[in-house]
Amino acid sequence: MRKTVTSDRHARKAQELVASAASSSTESLRRSHEAVEALGRIEAGTYGTCRSCSGRISVVRLRAKPEATRCIQCQLEFEHGRAA
């Protein structure tokens, strides 16, 4: 019985590691995609322009989140389902 318990524990740990790696990989892909999109906006001359209100995204926000596509006000509204 002890061997089964140890094997089960190892199997669960292996599953956790695989799930963690998959999640990490997905997050890395998402971040890479956001970076490529930001570079495209730089090239197009639209980097730093809010996609919702067309206003400027603050430098402070862009320093904290360079891939931001909305000003902080529009982002908050978006997150609360009040904007596109």
d(CA 81, CA 65): 21
Shared-domain flag, residues 60 and 20: no
Q: Nearest Cα to 83, choosing from 51, 37, 49, 44?
A: 51
Average pLDDT of the residues in 2-12: 67
- Residue for token pair 């999109």: 37
What per-residue confidence (pLDDT) applies to 51?
95
Which pTM does this prediction carry? 0.63
Q: How many domains does the chain have?
A: 2
List alpha helices for the chain, DSSP H.
2-44, 59-64, 72-79
What per-residue confidence (pLDDT) applies to 24?
76
Shared-domain flag, residues 73 and 54: yes
Structural domain range at position 78:
48-84
